[in-house]
Structure 1
Amino acid sequence: MKFKLGLVALLLAGQALADVFIAPDNQQLQYTGRIDFADRARPMLSWPGSSIEGKFTGPSLAVKLDDQLGKNFFNVFIDGDYSKPLIIEARRGSATYPVAAGLTPGAHSFLITKRTEGEEGGTWFQGLELADGGALLAPPPRKKRHIEFFGDSITTGMGNESPDDGPDDRLRDKNNFMSYSSITARALDAEAHITSQSGIGVTISWFPFTMPDFYDQLSAVGDNDSRWDFKSWTPDVVIINLLQNDSWLIDREKRLSPVPDDAQRIQSYRGFVQKIRALYPNAYIVCALGSMDAVREGSKWPGYVRTAVDQMRQLGDQRIDTIILPWTGFGGHPRVKQHQANAAQLTTFIRQKMGW
């Protein structure tokens, strides 16, 4: 009997020290991005920059994820320190990732962001674990400004953390948080949706689907039948930065026969922009291009963007403009310093146009 009582005491002590589980459907968790809530107990993150944010008490925090392919990476920022993310390299399947320990007493904040994109698969969020006695607090207020980006690998941030003289296709070096898109959104204190896919184009991509096939999906994992509800979130500003892959595949790789003429290229691009305008009649649309070699000296592609915008203006659309992000001559995907320069230019442009 004495042994049994001792065993019960140990079990009770273990329960008292058990972690506090925070379920994914907790109303104090703040989600941002096109996130699939078909199962509220297992929301799926697939788009780059998708995020989960909140505040909590207690000395520790762990994140539970179920990754589809074991290829995704996430940032976790504690207490707003963006200079020192803890990087989660998600394993395939369900796992728990400790991300903070030894925190001081009192309230703390966390921000989880998806570094990678849909081609790395989706990730089901399974909740958080706090230390015994910890609690989730009310989240920060949502940002009032909204920006949506439609783009390719540049907008995603492919290779932006690679060394200048190294390969830029390693998954761990892809970090949407330090792409021009996310940097611009933070500079403008805006909530961002990043609707991008490396390799995608408007007329042709490096795979069978194009942005006009892809832009309306809820899930970013390949070409699929999921549908995003555009009425659920409305941007004030839309940035469209496409055509880099079209320029390579049409002019360099000669993948289309017959080769589209200038008018057909402009018409294809304008058709997609008009789809976005139909969805967001009041948004300020910025048709961007850059900063890779589609904007090199002598390239016709910036002119296609400008002409398409001019045509829409002639049809009465006055809330649309163009910005060209300059190519530095660097042969690979832009690195962080180039993204920062692009973001500074774009941020200034939007502030002038929107009065922000």
Structure 2
Amino acid sequence: MKLKSAFLALLLAAGQALAGVAIQPDNAQLQYTGRIDFANRLRPMLSWPGTSIEGNFTGASLAVKLDDQQGKNFFNVFIDGDLAKPVVIEAAQGSKSYPVASGLAPGAHRFLITKRTEGEEGGTFFQGLELADGGALLAPPARKQRHIEFFGDSITSGMGNESPDDGPDHLLKDKNNFMSYASITARALDAEAHITSQSGIGVMISWFPFTMPDFYDQLSAVGNNDTQWDFSAWTPEVVVINLFQNDRWLIDREKRLTPMPDDAQRIQAYRIFVQKIRALYPNAYIVCALGSMDAVQEGSKWPGYVRTAVDQMRDLGDRRIDTIVFPWTGFGGHPRVKQHQANAALLTAFIRQKAGW
């Protein structure tokens, strides 16, 4: 009996050691960033690229619990600020726990979870964390004081940015919004970012039935839907718009828009969208960017459309708006990380000069 009791005690102790500490998604110490759907506080849904969850904790291990809609999403998890070595989660469809750190030293640690992929891969419900037995969630890091929002397409999302130069750039594992020019710029400026982007989207036409003027105001990035983002909940001081690459392909190359819009109509369509953003953010500095894919190659009219639309807005009295064109490098695919880094350096310097950051 004594041996049996001792054995049961050991099993109970082992079970307690392995049980861990569950952190629910509605814990006030978790810091969420981005357009996240909190309709159910115990199942917040992440859909936009770059949406993130951050926090501080104690304990020797960390696991992340996710319920992914399609099994197509990828996430980065950074531990203790080591941004060069993410643990990459390839989310399986359904509910699953993903161990991301173990053997951590005693004391405080930090985690950052970021969505590498975007709305076309579906949404992911965050189901919380699991810490080692005895671990605890601590007060979160201070929020950044600056806010910057990006409206864009696959370039802004980071499509194919981690692909080899001579490889395909459509594989989901190679899409990493954290290393897009948008996210790199936000970090360089010490700004909190919202990435409102979708691969294949345009202003007048997209590779699917909806355009950015249909999409920009959604809470959920999963297709064209009736959800509504509350623009009063978060206000950027700087907005970057990088659109028109897909319009260039679909109108000029694919001839899919009939009747074919003339130059004035292209300029007007772009200006009307930018004016929608201006109405939402009357005090923001708006940067109308383009590139660095072939919409900016030598001889292209598309940079001129952007510049003219901005000039028209300036003629109407808007002084907090300007244009930047990322240079054409001759690379035909989606920009790789090195091109994103170069474009981010240009954009960072531009924003510092124009917005006083």
Same-fold status (TM-score > 0.5): yes
SS at 1:282's partner residue? coil
Q: State the distance in 1 between where 2:232 and 2:140 align.
A: 23
Counterpart of 1:154 in structure 2 is 155
1:267-325 Cα shifts (integer Å, max 9, x gaps): 00001000000000000000000000000011000000000001001111111110001
Q: State the distance in 2 between where 1:13 and 1:307 align.
A: 71
Counterpart of 1:9 in structure 2 is 9
SS at 1:70's partner residue? coil
1:281 matches 2:282: yes
Counterpart of 1:352 in structure 2 is 353
1:47 alignment partner AA: W
Aligned residue-pair number: 356
Structure 1 window deviating more from structure 2 (135-144 vs 7-16): it is: 7-16
What does 1:212-227 align with in structure 2 at a 5 Å threshold? 212-227=213-228
What does 1:254-333 align with in structure 2 at a 5 Å threshold? 254-333=255-334
1:251 matches 2:252: yes
SS at 1:221's partner residue? coil
What does 1:23-42 align with in structure 2 at a 5 Å threshold? 23-42=24-43
1:208 matches 2:209: yes
Aligned-pair CA distance for 1:227: 0.5
Q: State the distance in 2 between where 1:317 and 1:25 align.
A: 41
Aligned-pair CA distance for 1:351: 0.3
Aligned-pair CA distance for 1:9: 2.3
Aligned-pair CA distance for 1:7: 6.3
Aligned-pair CA distance for 1:257: 1.2
1:225 alignment partner AA: D
Counterpart of 1:172 in structure 2 is 173
Q: State the distance in 2 between where 1:215 and 1:11 align.
A: 54
Counterpart of 1:54 in structure 2 is 55
Q: State the distance in 1 between where 2:59 and 2:255 align.
A: 58
1:238 matches 2:246: no
What does 1:42-191 align with in structure 2 at a 5 Å threshold? 42-191=43-192
Aligned-pair CA distance for 1:2: 5.1
Q: State the distance in 2 between where 1:20 and 1:125 align.
A: 16
1:49-79 Cα shifts (integer Å, max 9, x gaps): 0000001111110000000000000000000
1:193 alignment partner AA: H
Aligned-pair CA distance for 1:15: 4.6
1:191 alignment partner AA: E
1:334 matches 2:335: yes
| Structure 1 residue ranges, 4+ long, deviating more than 2 angstroms after superposition | 1-12
1:161 alignment partner AA: E
Structure 2 unaligned blocks of 5 or more: none
Structure 1 window deviating more from structure 2 (35-44 vs 6-15): it is: 6-15
Q: State the distance in 2 between where 1:47 and 1:334 align.
A: 20
Aligned-pair CA distance for 1:354: 1.6
1:197 matches 2:234: no
1:184-221 Cα shifts (integer Å, max 9, x gaps): 00000000000000000000000000000000000000
Aligned-pair CA distance for 1:4: 6.9
Q: Percent identity?
A: 83
Q: State the distance in 1 between where 2:328 and 2:285 align.
A: 25
Q: State the distance in 2 between where 1:319 and 1:167 align.
A: 39
Aligned-pair CA distance for 1:16: 3.0
TM-score, structure 2 normalization: 0.98
Q: State the distance in 2 between where 1:319 and 1:87 align.
A: 39
Q: State the distance in 1 between where 2:206 and 2:226 align.
A: 19
Aligned-pair CA distance for 1:327: 1.1
Aligned-pair CA distance for 1:355: 1.6
Structure 1 unaligned blocks of 5 or more: none
Counterpart of 2:22 in structure 1 is 21
Aligned-pair CA distance for 1:13: 1.4
